[in-house]
């Protein structure tokens, strides 16, 4: 089995931790900030908190990956973590650290595994540059969109 590949985003955001959390917690916002997401739909009536499940499709360059994920950790205004239950293996944890009424730090760790063997190695090499692009675009998008949501709500 191949090791997990970790991608980390740590960015200050001109918004409260509560605003940042609320924005990320709303699954309908994911396609707005997550570069490459083609769909992200609930598979349970529950759409937030531990136990909520979603089907996701992401395009990384020439490769389209699917996964069913479940929220495994959720603390209002503090943390949201998801883990894949089927498909592309991913664990994603988003932490929101309050620094003031108009400033927080978003600390996100995304771990993924493409599988072992030759096929896994080829897939890993194929998607690696697209993962880097996706992370940069996602970071830029999430920080600017949360700041805008904060200003619109202020």
pLDDT in tens, 2-37: 577 788 888 999 999 999 999 999 999 998 888 888
pLDDT of res. 28:
95
Which domain, by its residues, includes 119?
5-153
Determine the straight-line distance between the first and last CA of the chain, rounded to whole angstroms: 48
User: Confidence band (pLDDT; 50, 70, 90) for 110?
Assistant: confident
Tokens of 104: 């927080």
Alpha helices in 26-116 (DSSP H): 30-33
Query: How many domains does the chain contain in total?
Result: 1
Model confidence at 135: pLDDT above 90: no
Strand partners, 127: none
Question: Which pTM was predicted?
Answer: 0.84
Could you give the 3-state DSSP secondary structure of residue 115?
coil
Looking up residue 70, the CATH number of its domain turns out to be: 3.30.530.20
**Given this model, what pLDDT does residue 4 score?**
72
Distance separating alpha carbons of residues 95 and 120, to the nearest angstrom: 30
φ, ψ (nearest 5 deg) of residue 106: -100, 125
């Amino acid at each position: 089995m191949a090791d997990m590949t970790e991608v980390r985003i740590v960015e200050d955001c001109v918004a409260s931790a509560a605003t940042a959390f609320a924005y990320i917690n709303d699954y309908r916002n994911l396609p707005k900030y997550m570069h490459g997401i083609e769909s992200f739909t609930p598979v349970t009536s529950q759409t937030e908190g531990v136990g909520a499940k979603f089907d996701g499709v992401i395009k990384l360059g020439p490769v389209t990956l699917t996964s069913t994920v479940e929220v495994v950790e959720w603390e209002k205004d503090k943390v949201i973590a998801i883990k894949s239950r089927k498909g592309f293996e991913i664990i994603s944890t988003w932490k929101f650290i309050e620094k003031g009424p108009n400033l927080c730090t978003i600390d996100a760790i995304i771990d993924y595994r493409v599988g072992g063997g030759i096929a896994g190695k080829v897939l890993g090499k194929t998607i690696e540059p697209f993962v880097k692009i996706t992370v940069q675009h996602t970071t830029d998008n999430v920080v600017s969109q949360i700041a805008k949501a904060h200003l619109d709500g202020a």
